[in-house]
Structure 1
Amino acid sequence: MAVKLIVFLCVIVISKGVDIGSLKLDQVLILSRHNVRTPLTDSLEKYTPKPWPKWNESAGILTQKGALLEGIMGKYISEWLDNEDLIEGCPEQKEVLIYANTKSRTIATAQAFVDSAFQNCNVTVRHLEDLTVFDPVFLPIVHNNSEIFSNQIGEEMRAKIKDLNLTESYSELAKILKIEEADICKSLYLCDLNIAQTEVVLEVGEEPNVSGPLFIGNAIVDAFIMSYYEGMPLEDVAWGQIQTPEQWELLAKISKENQNVRFNLTLGSKDIAGPLIKYMYNIFEDKSPKFTMLVGHDSNLNSVIRALEFKPFKLSEQFEPYPIGGKLMFQKWVDSTNEYLKIEYLYPSTSQLRNAEILSLSHPPKKVLLELKDCKTDSNGFCLFSDFMKLNVY
């Protein structure tokens, strides 16, 4: 009877709304995407007769601009943590965990964050010693290798591909590329992205992937987006051919659908994100450290968000569904009787990225309040932390 009464009273508290003035920030866990990097492939020449802009680093490497931007975000978050009295000055080692995947761009992003957020403090970036392997915690693969499960994933991916409506996007991209004059048209006769077929690529131990126009289009649009964030002259961003927000939206739709097909999966997301979600919940169960940042990839954010069943949300002033340098921020707040969860998507806008705008409490990054399907929130975005912990099925 006593337990039922406590649960009933907790429901009343949430329905009426939490008294914000009585709350204290108790723990923060951030799942972050790395910052601005070079394009993931350096073999884009076959898709256009036009010369691509030169990058100072090889493929998939965090740029100096990316490190600068992450430092700006780190400074803002440090200011916020101090303002909320969670971490003031240099933290003790047990109070902070910065953990990155083994890719150089994720480690470098984490280090840039630490150098700014915890400047001159004894905070180190944790990662696997063997940098030749993808850390299993972050590895976005289908772990269930049964033929039945693999077939189900493949069927869902193919159904998503069948429902794609990228005709205008592919046509716009082909026009910018002049693909009919490119090597891929001359040698492989791929001259129209709307005619070629996107196929599912599922291999044991590898990320769910696609081949064909969706793969090609995503790689090219990614290069456009990264060059824009990098601050290259506009004539070097898609050769100056993207001149309106509507064009950006049309092209970015290719990247959004690539993420949707590969990781926004009803069955697959829970399997793909399982190790990472288990790691996150272990931190919440241990109630330590006070501040954690896990630095991974857009695939990690996508699969975690889908697996935990977040309600639909929209990020304004951004090209990407899971923006570069963006952070999914889980916050545990407490008062004298209860623990609450608040989740926000913290991310820089396209202009903040391109212009390397200094962020602060008075000039913050973009922020969107998120809601989980099975964790009822009040008007300020707080749900009972105990309800959130019940979602841990891993």
Structure 2
Amino acid sequence: MMPRRHQAAARLFIAGALWLCATQTHAAAHYQLEKVVELSRHGIRPPTPDNRKDIEAATHRHWTTWVTRDGELTGHGYAAVVNKGRWEGEHYRQLGLLTAGCPQPQDIYVRASPLQRTQATALALVDGAFPGCGVAIHRVKEENDPLFQTEAFPATNTEPATQLAAVQAKAGDLAARQQALQPAVSALKTAVCAPGTDCSFFDKPWQIKQSKSGKTYVEGLSVLANMVETLRLGWNENLPLSQLAWGKITTAAQITEILPLLTANYDLSNDVLYTAQKRGSILLNAMLQGVDHTPASMPDTRWLLLVAHDTNIAMVRTLMGFSWTLPGYTRGNIPPGSSLVFERWRDTQSGERFIHVFFQGQSLDDLRHLQSVDQAHPLLREEWRQADCRITDVGTLCPMKSAIKTLSKHLDPSAITPVSYP
């Protein structure tokens, strides 16, 4: 016979378990998930051809040639995105948004930027969420998509003089910014400079420049940021340590140490408000329309999945006034395969609708080790919120009307042109 103290403990455990189940059931009954709009970055890739040219010129040495062609999604990157897609599919089935088996046309619509790395990432996401179902990936026929490659269209491109002034104003004392980032610069220099080679590039003063096409950038910083991104992606790819910074980077903490240079480059490029207003308004507007009320021109599906680039996410989050710092990363970092998510929830008792906004991604090491997303290894997540939001068992829910008003206040109407969906 069980001792009395064990019987009491068992009763407490059973009561606690029943309470937890009742709480979860109540949460599921109280709030119903109705719609998801997700903007994902592509997965792991080697440096783009232009980035490789710049970083090799700055360091006077050849950087590792990956198995995958420069700029394209790797096999490892595909597998990492499948892991995320598998979890999302299971998660949204548990929440009642999706049903078992292959999706119906009203369940999901996927649109990806025309580049190989985004098309392949979209395929990996749906392969994970709906294995064997052959979910269609939609793309425009042209080389540039007006939602994503906004620099290619007059209405969504920046005016050079205005953009230059905006970057200069945000940069302020550029020399002081450079000085403050010297620890990260020194760590990067130690990792990638060969003894006896010319590494004077790392010591040159940063300058704000503008190309003939009107693109504004910080000379010096932009190339250092490309080096950091290449090393981070190499770590995520699980490159042999001998091929990653020539054996000088052996821990994720060393990657974290140099990530501030990426944050600084975001601050003076896609995170400049004027740039984001001209080039990101069309995308944020589409996302807000999709989660709030679906216009006739947009597919009316439960899950609208858009797959694009970190630059797109950066501009959208700047318009939103949303910043995050995931564990192991620096402020505003956008890891490969990470995503910005808008969820629409309905209070089943009052009928009121809410929006749940968050950014999510995997850790540096989980990407490196192709760790499956599960309860022990959840996606890193940070939520957007404002004063009238409420903390619930399903996340931070914000009243739809006031949240949409806040999130749309920086939109530039002149940069929002009609969008068709192939």
Bin of the TM-score, shorter chain as denominator length: 0.7 to 0.9
Mean CA deviation greater in 140-149 or 242-251 = 140-149
Listed one character per residue, the Cα deviations across residues 270-325 of structure 1 (whole Å, up to 9, x for unaligned) are: 22211111221232321831101111111111111110112x43111336711111
- Which whole-Å CA distance do the structure 2 matches of 1:121 and 1:161 have between them? 52
Structure number with bigger Rg: 2
Q: Is the 1:93–1:123 Cα contact (8 Å) retained in structure 2? A: no
Q: Partner of 2:226 in structure 1?
A: 219
1:150 aligned residue: 163
CA drift of 1:202 comes to 5.5
Q: What CA distance in whole angstroms lies between the structure 1 residues aligned with 2:329 and 2:167?
A: 30
1:277 correspondence with 2:284: yes
Written as runs of structure 1 = structure 2, the 5 A alignment for 1:62-101 is 62-88=73-99, 89-101=101-113
Q: Deviations for 1:90-124, whole angstroms, at most 9, x for unmatched residues? A: 22113211111111101110011112212222520
Structure 1 pair 62/146, CA: closer, same or farther in 2 (3 Å)? Answer: closer
State the distance in 1 between where 2:160 and 2:239 align.
46
Q: What are the superposed Cα offsets for residues 179-208 of structure 1, whole Å, 9 maximum, x if unpaired?
A: 6744xx3xxxx61423333323365575x4
Aligned equivalent of 2:204, options 195, 214, 217: 195
Q: Give the equivalent residue in structure 1 for 2:193.
A: 178
* SS, match of residue 200 in structure 2: coil
Distance 1:246 1:82 in 2: 36
Q: How does 1:156-305 map to 2 (within 5 A)?
A: 156-159=169-172, 161-164=174-177, 165-178=180-193, 181-182=196-197, 185=198, 191-201=200-210, 204=213, 206=215, 208-211=216-219, 213-243=220-250, 247-284=254-291, 285-286=293-294, 288-305=300-317
Q: Distance in 1 between matches of 2:390 and 2:356?
A: 10
Structure 2 unmatched ranges of 5 or more: 1-25, 414-422
Shift in Å at residue 50 of structure 1?
Answer: 5.1
Work out the CA distance in 1 between the residues paired with 2:357 and 2:88.
Answer: 15
Runs of 4+ in 1 over 6 A off after TM superposition: none
Tell whether 2:340 aligns with 1:328: yes
Decide whether aligned partners of structure 1 residues 270 and 239 sit closer, same or farther in structure 2, where only a CA change above 3 A counts. Answer: same
Partner of 2:146: 136
Distance (whole Å) between structure 2 residues aligned to residue 59 and residue 262 of structure 1: 23
Would the aligned equivalents of 1:69 and 1:353 in 2 still touch at CA under 8 Å? yes
Change in Cα spacing, 1:138 to 1:162, as seen in structure 2 (3 Å) is farther
Deviation at 1:74, TM superposition (A): 0.6
1:28 and 2:36 aligned: yes
TM-score, scaled relative to structure 2 = 0.79
Instruction: Decide whether the 8 Å contact of 1:42 with 1:58 is kept in 2.
Output: no
For residue 347 of structure 1, what is the aligned residue in structure 2? 361
Q: For this pair of structures, how many residues does the alignment match?
A: 363
CA distance in 2, matches of 1:87, 1:203: 49
Counterpart contact for 2:44–2:77, Cα < 8 Å: yes
Evaluate the alpha carbon distance shift between residue 358 and residue 280 of structure 1 in structure 2; reply closer, same or farther with a 3 A threshold.
same
Q: Which amino acid aligns with 1:376?
A: D
Aligned residue identity for 2:290: I
Aligned partners of 2:380, 2:334: CA distance in 1, in Å? Answer: 13
Counterpart Cα distance in 2 of 1:49 and 1:148: 34
* Distance 1:251-1:299 versus aligned 2 partners, 3 A rule: same
How far apart are the structure 2 equivalents of 1:97 and 1:135? 16
Give 1:57's match in structure 2, choosing from 63, 68, 91.
68
CA displacement at 1:378 relative to structure 2: 1.6
Q: After the TM superposition, which residues 95-134 of structure 1 pair with which residues of structure 2 at under 5 Å, given as runs?
A: 95-130=107-142, 133-134=143-144
- TM-score (norm: length of structure 1): 0.84
Shift of the alpha carbon at 1:146? 4.3
Over residues 202-226 of structure 1, what are the superposed CA-to-partner deviations in whole Å (9 max), with x where a residue is unaligned?
Answer: 65575x4332x21221121122111
